[in-house]
Chain A
């Protein structure tokens, strides 16, 4: 098991956000976590990466109990995990190239020649070579997400975490990001955890889907099992998404 969360509880701002959450992810698998807002999807990712500590429960990643890692062990662990943030989280005063090169320079202290080679390769893979010398405010939201993705995968992580990778993007760009996630998965064989509201995206990229509600997993299965779920919450969630699509489409 690559990632295993067992009975995780977390209280934030006077509310129980995670309420005995248990979920496991196999090596090389893409798990998509869906659910309404405020059910603890992003908080789950923050626990896996060690930005938040649980009140109770176990978070085991690559055989290590994340909340028990020392600062040094946490740094070492994080160098094997990449994360794409909702906003891209690029540093505004650096070009796209420097943003992507940042972890290689600061964390791995690679020589500039090797950095150029690695960054060039990932920029070419993501079709971003023309944007290398631009600043984040000079490129679109979709491009910012791709640049954030490039920065996250440039260190060859074993696990990739995606926090709302398609939020704020038009449908065409959303499908492009989905395609990138699938192609990165195939190329690097990473284990991926994707948090999204977007069921189209979930059905397109997931090996398995977990639906959260009230800080717990209420449905867990393959996209096909998820579509045919008898769970009322799941049916309501699927119905709401597609009825919105019909309304906006019509």
Chain B
């Protein structure tokens, strides 16, 4: 059963080894349940697209349009900080014109997907966990089950579709805004001309950087949706339980994005 309506209950574990064993067991159980949830959500995609209830549009608006403001600000300043820090070091070697190359590579390969994923995990993912958690503790999820409506197909699948579409789009947007921020600093504080900066951005920027960035963004979107929805659907014990589920969803998303990001980079570069 992916969604459980029974509280976890185990006999008290006395020694630290038993407690550690229990924690490991529960971690593996949750990983298994979360994976099944994501697989079920994928299985519901054809039906969700055919039904076109409008909830995919709502979810797209929530994870896309509402995230543009914060994404733009974070991306702009990330690019500016990168250009400033790297530019000051490069200037010591008379290589400040290379700053465009460094900013573009860093944004496309790592910072773009990473920053976008963190923003989405903290805003959209937390909102998903809180909404699912509230629905769980107020018996709305149980009501859907009783009505023979699969809560995963009905609630998780539209969010998964929206996140899979919007995260790569937002990531590319973040990349370009970051590069623009870098250009502003390079031009105004490092005396690098727009043309030199632009030439360096193009230099060595291949399709590979772009596609790996896209792939990372897609993986992160699935992870954030799966973790957030699973944590929300596992909530119990009223408002306190919803708070715990939301906090846990953000923390797990951050750690998973970080670790997965490293693994993907290691595989492709």
Q: Which residues of A approach B to under 8 Å, CB–CB?
A: 11-14, 46, 49, 51-52, 75-76, 78-79, 81-83, 85-87, 89-92, 102-103, 106-107, 148, 151, 155
Contacts and interface: CB of A to CB of B under 8 A. Distances in A.
A113 B139 CA distance: 30
Contact of A51 (B11, B146, B149): B146
Contacts of A103: 147-149
A52 B139 contact: no
A89 B135 CA distance: 8
Interface in B118-140: 135, 138-140
Interface of chain B: mostly helix, strand, loop or mixed: loop
B134 to A, nearest CB: 9
Interface in B1-34: 5-7, 9, 11
Contacts of B9: 11-14
A1 B104 CA distance: 73
A78 B143 contact: no
Interface of B: 5-7, 9, 11, 135, 138-140, 142-143, 145-149, 154
Contacts of A102: 147, 149
A169 to B, nearest CB: 17
Contacts of A49: 146
Contacts of A87: 138-139
Given A85-B143, A90-B140, A102-B147, 12 more contacts: A12-B6, A14-B9, A49-B146, A51-B142, A75-B148, A78-B146, A81-B146, A82-B146, A85-B139, A87-B139, A89-B138, A148-B143
Contacts of A51: 5, 142, 145-146
Given A12-B7, A13-B7, A52-B5, A107 B139 contact: no
Nearest to B134: A92
B253 to A, nearest CB: 24
Contacts of B147: 78, 102-103, 106-107, 151, 155
Nearest to A107: B148
